[in-house]
Chains A and B, each alone.
Chain A
């Protein structure tokens, strides 16, 4: 157990729907990162939060949004889902935005049908 908890582990939903992915960071970590891993794009950085504030944005679509709550857990909201959004979504956490490594959660596998 890495200490980073992601729920749900698997999600199957239809096109056009909206889903919420949840992440609880490792105890003491203030930064939360979201990554998308798809077959054709590899691991793509989506967004980072640090202590409740958005810190950096990557290749995140406008249909996607995220937030980090006061208890430091984070949610990634995906709306108007398309078949191409099917991917493994990772949450990771770290103590600070330095050069230290991330601790990854086990991911949420999203399948859009």
Chain B
């Protein structure tokens, strides 16, 4: 069965600093997608970044980058130059081809002024 582990229930980071949110996954499939979503206190789920299992380059989207280490089955999210608006829950998720998302338990990030 597929599983996503996020070992950091909560993280603090100083404004303008970089922060890494950890995510490890477990699957025996070769084809899968890895995703990060942000959930602010208002509740909506906001897509941040996607990494395909066959992508050789790490995905980047603005201040977000995904540190993909396939052999270690890790897909850490790096947020550079943190902003106060980055304070939120962050969910790592995996999707196998034709199947549904499996989400991790989430990491609550608090950005300090």
Q: Do A and B actually bind?
A: yes
- Residues of B80-113 at the interface with A, using a CB-CB cut-off of 8 Å, are 91, 95-106
Interface size on B (CB < 8 Å)?
26
| Per-residue interface assignment for chain A, residues 81 to 113, with 1 indicating a CB less than 8 Å from any chain B CB and 0 otherwise | 000000010101000011111111111010000
| Per-residue interface assignment for chain A, residues 22 to 54, with 1 indicating a CB less than 8 Å from any chain B CB and 0 otherwise | 000000000001010000001101001000000
Residue of B nearest to A97 (CB): B98
Cβ–Cβ contact B31 & A106, under 8 A = no
B44 at the interface (CB under 8 A from A): yes
Q: How many A-B residue pairs have CB under 8 A?
A: 54
Residue of A nearest to B97 (CB): A99
> How would you classify the secondary structure of chain A's contact residues: helix, strand, loop or mixed?
strand
Interface size on A (CB < 8 Å)?
24
Cβ–Cβ contact B103 & A43, under 8 A = yes
Q: Which residues of A are found within 8 Å of B37, using beta-carbon distances? A: 104
